Amino acid sequence: MSVFKLNHCERLDSVSDVEWREAMECLSNYLTKKLAGKTVSGAFSESVLGVSAVEYFSKLAFIRLYSGQWKWKESLGLKTQLIRIARSEMSHHLRNWLKSEGPQAVRLDNSISESLLVEDDSLDVAYEIALSAAKDDPQLVAYINAVRDLNNYDDIAKELNISKKAVYALQRRLIRRLKK
């Protein structure tokens, strides 16, 4: 047995039932908040996953950690590790779903609203709402137009000739305006 397997098994064995329950409850609460409003249709819907998204990603995170498919970082606690695994699995699932669905679903840049999915016919409305909120800010208007054509931070930063940090700042500014 490899040193990794031995240390991994020892670490898993050292976790009490109470710690597992607390960690799984924490993960469930995190997923419930993270997936709020994103499970009715699309990549995280029950019709796609076969079960609720919270249940699906909770079980998947547990399986990935327990089976050793994910190395448990020494510096992380059980709750944090499970959340990191679930976030990664959600990201991979969304990416694969978007590839398989093609033009039937379009992601309005992952930066605007963590995996906000909109149908093709609603995309123009979403952009109009964003443009309306940003009409008095030329930087935000340029950002929104870049988001419409591009779908990652690097490309947007290059298009606007600004740093990625500035792109993140524009993203936060737009989200604040949209929440008003």
Structural domain containing residue 149 = 108-179
* Whether residues 83 and 117 fall in one domain: no
| Closest-CA residue to 57 (of 93, 107, 102) | 93
| Closest-CA residue to 108 (of 162, 171, 157) | 171
pLDDT for the residue 8: 65
Res. 117 pLDDT band, cuts 50 70 90 = very low
pLDDT for the residue 60: 92
Residue keyed to tokens 């800010």: 137
* Whether residues 94 and 141 fall in one domain: no
pLDDT for the residue 165: 92
* Whether residues 81 and 121 fall in one domain: no
| Closest-CA residue to 116 (of 171, 154, 47) | 171
pLDDT for the residue 178: 79
* Whether residues 114 and 100 fall in one domain: no
* Of the residues 89, 104, 119, the one at which a domain ends: 104
* Whether residues 116 and 149 fall in one domain: yes
* Whether residues 79 and 137 fall in one domain: no
Q: How many domains does the chain have?
A: 2
Q: Is the pLDDT of residue 169 over 50?
A: yes
Q: What is the pLDDT of residues 38-64, one digit of tens each?
A: 788 778 888 888 899 999 999 999 888
pLDDT for the residue 57: 92
* Whether residues 168 and 145 fall in one domain: yes
Res. 7 pLDDT band, cuts 50 70 90 = low
* Of the residues 104, 125, 145, the one at which a domain ends: 104
Task: Give yes or no for a contact between 110 and 138, defined as CB atoms under 8 angstroms apart.
Answer: no
Rg (CA), the chain: 20
What's the number of CA atoms in the CB half-sphere (13 Å) around residue 144?
Answer: 24
* Whether residues 156 and 126 fall in one domain: yes
Q: Is the pLDDT of residue 123 over 80?
A: no
pLDDT for the residue 113: 40
Res. 162 pLDDT band, cuts 50 70 90 = very high
* Of the residues 57, 72, 104, the one at which a domain ends: 104
| Residue 146 DSSP one-character state | H
* Whether residues 99 and 12 fall in one domain: yes
* Whether residues 36 and 118 fall in one domain: no
* Whether residues 143 and 79 fall in one domain: no
